[in-house]
Structure 1
Amino acid sequence: MKKILSAGIAIAIATVGFAEGVTPDDVIYSEYGEVEASLTGQPGDAAAGLEIMVSRGKGNCIACHQVTALEEYPFHGEVGPTLDGVGEYRTAAELRGIIANAKMTYDGTIMPAFYRTSGFIRPGNAYTGKAAEGELSPLLTAQEIEDVVAYLQTLKD
């Protein structure tokens, strides 16, 4: 009975892990940093992606990037490039890779790796300014990455 119960628990855990998508350490990047496969197998929700873009507790993309379509939200940055029209000149695979870990595309960038949990030097605890204690969680979930990609694909000139 114990073996059957243990096997059932293992299957349940594996199913939950699969349902959540690709783990940060298992993301496959191309030579130029693209991530071809969806991290979740589910389509992104552009409306949820917009909320992540402007949320200070999540992506906060507009802190560094100008986005004309989001003018109603305050504090747009000028550190990163404007994202106006990005849906026309970047593929979903390119956007997914840049958001997950921009350093795979742009060596030396200061853009955070939003879907990475290992390989850091002196990692901080998200946006708290404190040193990390224990295992790190990604700044965004796999689905949140897909949601931001979906929103960015709506940005067309």
Structure 2
Amino acid sequence: MKRATGLVTVAAALLAGAAFAGETAPQDVKFEDLAVNASLSGGAGDPVEGANVFKSRKLGNCLACHANSDMKSELFHGTVGPAMDGAGDRWEPAQLRAIVADAKEVFGEQTVMPGFYSVNVGENVREDLIGKTILSAQQVEDVVAYLATLKE
């Protein structure tokens, strides 16, 4: 019994390592035709977690700029960016991934939307944040999975 438990532990560690190994570094994200076709984390996103990231003021803080009827109970929806209602109909997941990962690659430098999975964040960055992304690769995948559920 002890050996079987050990094998399960080793298998779990190998799987966790394999999942991590599949993660794309921010500087290696491939933008093709305004889309990012490959998962950044090497796996699928969780739409429930994506909704949490979307509305969290400490993570995505997406509601600061985007209205979202799906989250009408949340306060302070912004109007700087487009409403997210129907986002899953307007954009393919690969396009959503590109926009969330680095909107400047999609919309140009003039956009105020930050690159959530980019280390090219401009000047005067807090020293403790240099070289870090706003969201992890998995959090980007989670947000993409959530946005893909928003249909008209």
TM-score, normalised by the number of residues in structure 2: 0.83
User: In 1, Cα distance between the equivalents of 2:50 and 2:118?
Assistant: 19
Identify the residue that residue 136 of structure 2 maps to in structure 1: 141
- Given that residues 96 and 146 in structure 1 are in contact (C-alpha distance below 8 angstroms), is that contact kept between their aligned partners in structure 2? yes
**How many residues are treated as equivalent by the alignment?**
136
In 1, are the aligned partners of 2:19 and 2:43 still within 8 Å (CA)?
no
**SS of alignment partner, residue 111 of structure 1:** coil
> 1:115-157, CA deviations, whole angstroms, 9 ceiling, x for partnerless residues?
011x443142xxxxxx324742100000000000000000001
Moved more, 70-79 or 131-140: 131-140
Listed as ranges, the matches of 1:104-119 within 5 Å are 104-107=105-108, 108-117=110-119, 119=120
Alpha-carbon deviation of 1:89? Answer: 1.5
Higher-helix-fraction structure: 2
Give identity over the alignment, percent: 40
Using the TM superposition, give the Cα deviation of residue 76 of structure 1 relative to its aligned residue in structure 2, in angstroms.
0.3
Structure 1 contact 102–109 (Cα < 8 Å) conserved: yes
Q: CA RMSD in A?
A: 1.9
| Aligned counterparts of 1:123 and 1:16: Cα–Cα separation in 2 | 36
Secondary structure at the aligned position of 2:107 is classed as: coil
Residue pair 1:65, 1:82 contacting (<8 A) in 2 also? yes
Long gaps (5+) in structure 1: 1-11, 125-130
Q: 3-state DSSP class of the match of 2:98?
A: helix
- Answer whether contact 2:22 2:42 (CA < 8 A) is retained: no
- Cα distance in 1 for partners of 2:66, 2:28 equals 28
| Partner in structure 1 of residue 148 of structure 2 | 153
Equivalent residue of 1:105, what SS? helix
Equivalent AA in structure 1 for residue 132 of structure 2: S
* Structure 2 residues not aligned, in runs of 5+: 1-13
Aligned structure 1 segments of 4 or more residues deviating by more than 4 angstroms: 15-18
The reply on whether 1:27 has 2:29 as its aligned counterpart is yes
Equivalent-residue separation in structure 2 for 1:153 and 1:136 (angstroms) = 29
Deviation at 1:18, TM superposition (A): 4.5
